[in-house]
């Protein structure tokens, strides 16, 4: 059982692959520090055959790779052209990413920014209308998944909170009834057969009174996303090095995220934290804190995703 296959890691700024070859993760995420001309990205991904290779390629201010790629407008701008424009844009994105050897895009954003203190979503969202956001996200998924895996984010919805989870733990203060509209775009994404779902670091007390971040919450991931919404694809954590989780060590975070129902754990910056996470998972598995079936299911979900998108 290769527990490293439960993790996706970042590369250093010089794109040195030595840790990747040693650690053997499920994949890598290309950040802004890794950006190079498209031809160099292609040469890099050729060395990473068999791995998931992901990036945040939403458009607007969240597009890590630009040199040799189309510089994309925000989702809000693309969405103004309607579903067909979104679908066509997503197909173009898929063409360019696939040509560069990238098989996984952390998009579309399914959050609907209705909180007056929103500082992180804004025009990254297709719309401030819940129904329209779901329709446009579905069109994006249909276009992108002609070649590249899509990942709807940030479940169960970052648009109802103000604080940026890079900085601290946002709390959704509403009732379950008030949360329901935020789930609408994610339901639409599931109906569109989105391949992956990224879980946010937000507390949702109407679902989990412990205030555990959604990414570490079994009631939210297993109870709501899996059992109630019937999502059968890959569940991805948001970056587990973000400020919302600062009070926990990497090992504890990894074990709790996996136990809650995440399949693929993101450590985007620090190789030592990725090692600590894998080792903690191994210890938790041996001690019985983690059920073997949960770990095997997560590994199966990662392997199924990799097969679907040509890894």
Q: What is the pLDDT along the chain (311 residues), one digit of tens a residue?
A: 899 999 999 999 999 999 999 999 999 999 999 999 999 999 999 999 999 999 999 999 999 999 999 999 999 999 999 999 999 999 999 999 999 999 999 999 999 998 877 888 999 999 999 999 999 999 999 999 999 999 999 999 988 786 555 656 788 888 999 999 999 999 999 999 999 999 999 999 999 999 899 999 999 999 999 999 999 999 999 999 876 676 788 999 999 999 999 999 999 999 999 999 999 999 999 999 999 999 999 999 999 999 999 76
- CA–CA dist 35, 65 (Å, integer): 5
- Helix, strand, coil content of the chain in percent (nearest 5): 45, 15, 40
* 106 domain-assigned: yes
pLDDT at 168: 66
pTM (2 d.p.): 0.94
Biggest alpha carbon–alpha carbon distance for the chain: 54
| Total domain count, the chain | 1
Please list the active-site residues. Answer: 166, 238
Which residues constitute the domain of residue 188? 3-18+25-38+53-308
* 129 domain-assigned: yes
* 301 domain-assigned: yes
pLDDT at 162: 64
pLDDT at 245: 75
pLDDT at 124: 96
* 43 domain-assigned: no
Please answer whether residues 257 and 240 qualify as being in contact, where contact means their C-beta atoms are separated by less than 8 angstroms: yes
pLDDT at 169: 78
Long-range contacts of 205-209 (CB under 8 A, 24+ apart): 205/171, 205/172, 205/173, 206/172, 206/174, 206/175, 206/176, 206/178, 206/179, 207/156, 207/176, 207/179
* 275 domain-assigned: yes
- CA–CA dist 250, 229 (Å, integer): 29
Residues 6+ away with beta carbon under 8 Å from 87: 139, 140, 142, 143
- CA–CA dist 177, 226 (Å, integer): 19
* 48 domain-assigned: no
Q: What is the CATH number of the domain that holds 291?
A: 3.20.20.300
* 132 domain-assigned: yes
pLDDT at 142: 98
* 163 domain-assigned: yes
């Amino acid at each position: 059982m290769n527990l490293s296959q439960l993790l996706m890691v970042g590369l250093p700024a010089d794109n040195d692959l030595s840790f990747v070859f040693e650690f053997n993760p499920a994949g890598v995420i290309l950040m802004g520090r890794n950006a190079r001309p498209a031809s160099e990205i292609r040469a890099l991904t050729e060395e990473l055959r068999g791995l998931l290779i992901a990036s945040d390629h939403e458009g607007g201010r969240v597009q890590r790779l630009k040199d040799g790629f189309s510089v994309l407008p925000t989702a809000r701008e693309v969405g103004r052209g309607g579903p067909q424009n979104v679908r066509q844009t997503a197909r173009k994105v898929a063409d360019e990413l696939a040509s560069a050897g990238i098989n996984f895009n952390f998009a579309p954003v399914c959050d609907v920014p209705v909180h007056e203190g929103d500082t992180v979503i804004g025009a990254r969202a297709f719309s401030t209308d819940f129904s329209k956001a779901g329709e446009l996200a579905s069109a994006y998924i249909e276009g992108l998944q002609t070649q590249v895996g899509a990942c709807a984010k940030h479940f169960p919805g970052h648009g109802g909170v103000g604080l940026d989870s890079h900085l601290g733990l946002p709390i959704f203060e509403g009732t379950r009834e008030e949360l329901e509209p935020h789930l609408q775009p994610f339901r639409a994404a599931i109906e569109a057969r989105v391949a992956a779902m990224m879980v946010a670091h937000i507390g949702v007390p109407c679902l989990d009174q412990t205030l555990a971040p959604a990414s570490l919450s079994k009631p939210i991931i297993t109870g709501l996303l899996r059992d109630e919404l019937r999502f059968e694809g890959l569940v991805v954590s948001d970056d587990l090095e973000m400020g919302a989780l600062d009070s926990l060590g990497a090992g504890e975070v990894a074990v709790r995220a996996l136990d809650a129902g995440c399949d693929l754990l993101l450590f985007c910056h620090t190789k030592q934290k990725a090692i600590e996470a894998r080792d903690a998972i191994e210890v938790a598995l041996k001690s019985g804190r983690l059920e073997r079936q949960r770990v095997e299911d997560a590994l199966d979900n990662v392997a199924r995703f990799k097969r679907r998108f040509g890894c």
